[in-house]
Structure 1
């Protein structure tokens, strides 16, 4: 049965990956040849897929992608658009091309010394669109930016980068985690000192569920993660497991079970479970929750590799009810989070 599941996951992953490479040029959600968080999640996921299945051609494709697109990075110094830098340390290991190491170093220096911060010292969530979110901390930042800094720290051995990565992770957990439920709010306004809409949005929780074990892997041997990070993460994942629907997915807002099931957030949470168990963060007893999500995911990947049921790009909405009205459409971050989960079963 496990062999059949692995073969089925491998076939689905292959379709999802192929769809990502042949998306829609010029499309905000499906153009892989960009330098922003959407293609960033896509290439981070493709690197995970390449590592798990060991295919040389996947790394060659990533190398060609980076050669085509890295020149776009220098004019996009915002937190969300830093995300694609997370693959550059890995590409340096694959190619030995010093250009990748130099670019990762520049990103790490920007994050450490120049990126805007809130009054509490957390990175302010900045985006490429013509809109500002002053003094706002978002859960998304851990996956989009902190993973970059952690991997740059691993590449360079720079302890200061590693310590800043841990500092940001702990700050975000303290500011966003609901002490009553252990779930994460989507955002925090440092000036007004509240969680804005107060939504415990599923994909926000998924960014940290998926990001923390990846960051932990990168920092292993450089710094010791504080026990507070470990206990907060374990509490989060235990709370998420209790809210999983019978179909293996999570609703788009965690504590609103009647809201529509959301594929990308569900995949990110399940990936976090698998990776957290593998890294020794989580108890193996949680694995069946990821297995249930995988089963649901297999039914949401079409024959052409499109992942269904993914909510659109989402700022912190003005109300919890507004999250239910966000339309669903195909996207590279949805493809990517699904691919990351599928890759764990390849």
Structure 2
């Protein structure tokens, strides 16, 4: 696919996110949670790759319109939108972005609930609690923000925490046999609960890992264990890639339905890994194979189909197959990140 085609596809996906007002949970951009958070993170990535100043202005206006919602609750999943604050501060010079980001960063360091291993306990805006549980999602939803704050402020305390969280999550979640990640870890019971190797969990990490390190590597020594574990993860994911370029919603359950958001995130993560120098260029062909498989799922109006709904750690592997598919901002967003990166590389 040539650059013009990728550009057109990315524009359709982006417009579907910003032009269709929605009160539906999956596509409601005017809220403050991980769903719109992934949406605005991806829109920022799109702006960086296209150099469209009007997209940055859209994000600025989005924060003006929605920042009052951020004050309602402090949980891991509500921190995802803050990942755009460092860049908005650089673009606008508005001290509010910097001061707000530092307050949230300090809360993460000083008050966020942790497991006995020191990992951030995964907390959500819904009326549910998961005590002593570590989820792969946390790296993208909160640690990415912390890493970007570290780079903005040059404060090592944020960088050190981001590096620690990255490593402890990899240690707790990585399957030593296959290299891929389990969805979650229960510190109290010392197990991976249903032990599902959920595809989108792996996508969050394979993409967030090089992004996080890129932000903090000038501020803190990066353990060699991180890129070593990352390469094992990337190689393990390639083993499960289908002939159509996609992955089922649970990696090692090939009869489960194909899931596009996780597939897009994995491919984007490989591209990020190549850029970081951690992966060789053979992964480019694998990422292109995934992109080719995802494109037919993008409708003419820019909707990405085949996206599984919000998924906690399910009680059984079979339960992941019952999660319905519908359009979501995080599905749109992961596809937009992949298209933006592929467009830059073409």
TM-score of the alignment, normalized to the shorter chain, above 0.5: yes
Match of 1:61 among 58, 62, 68: 58
1:307-341 deviation digits (Å, cap 9, x = unpaired): 01000000000000110111000000000000000
Q: Distance in 2 between matches of 1:195 and 1:62?
A: 37
Secondary structure of 2:24's aligned partner: coil
Q: Distance in 2 between matches of 1:23 and 1:188?
A: 37
Q: Distance in 2 between matches of 1:43 and 1:281?
A: 27
Match of 1:195 among 187, 192, 196: 192
Match of 1:292 among 276, 289, 294: 289
Query: What is residue 216 of structure 2 aligned with on the other side?
Result: 219
Match of 2:20 among 5, 16, 23: 23
- Contact 1:23/1:32, CA 8 A, preserved across alignment: no
Query: What is residue 32 of structure 1 aligned with on the other side?
Result: 29
Match of 2:5 among 4, 8, 18: 8
Q: Distance in 2 between matches of 1:294 and 1:153?
A: 32
Query: What is residue 81 of structure 1 aligned with on the other side?
Result: 78
- Contact 2:163/2:213, CA 8 A, preserved across alignment: no
- Residues 297-308 of structure 1: matches in 2 within 5 Å? 297-308=294-305
Please report the TM-score for the alignment, with normalisation by the length of structure 2: 0.98
Match of 2:49 among 41, 49, 52: 52
Please report the TM-score for the alignment, with normalisation by the length of structure 1: 0.98
Q: Distance in 2 between matches of 1:284 and 1:70?
A: 41
Secondary structure of 1:68's aligned partner: helix
- Contact 1:9/1:298, CA 8 A, preserved across alignment: no
Q: Distance in 2 between matches of 1:23 and 1:37?
A: 19
Corresponding position: 1:131 with 2:131: no
Q: Distance in 1 between matches of 2:5 and 2:296?
A: 11
Q: Distance in 2 between matches of 1:182 and 1:91?
A: 36
Q: Name stretches of at least 5 consecutive residues in structure 2 with no aligned partner.
A: none
Q: Distance in 2 between matches of 1:291 and 1:144?
A: 26
- Contact 1:80/1:126, CA 8 A, preserved across alignment: yes
Corresponding position: 1:114 with 2:94: no
Query: 1:80: Cα distance to partner?
Result: 0.6
4+ runs deviating over 4 angstroms = none
Q: Distance in 1 between matches of 2:174 and 2:190?
A: 14
Corresponding position: 1:325 with 2:318: no
Corresponding position: 1:71 with 2:64: no
Q: Name stretches of at least 5 consecutive residues in structure 1 with no aligned partner.
A: none
Would you say how many aligned residue pairs link Structure 1 and Structure 2? 343
- Contact 2:77/2:124, CA 8 A, preserved across alignment: yes
Q: Distance in 1 between matches of 2:148 and 2:124?
A: 21
Secondary structure of 2:30's aligned partner: coil
Query: What is residue 182 of structure 1 aligned with on the other side?
Result: 179
Secondary structure of 2:26's aligned partner: coil
1:92-134 deviation digits (Å, cap 9, x = unpaired): 0111111111111111101111110011111000000001101
Query: 1:25: Cα distance to partner?
Result: 2.8
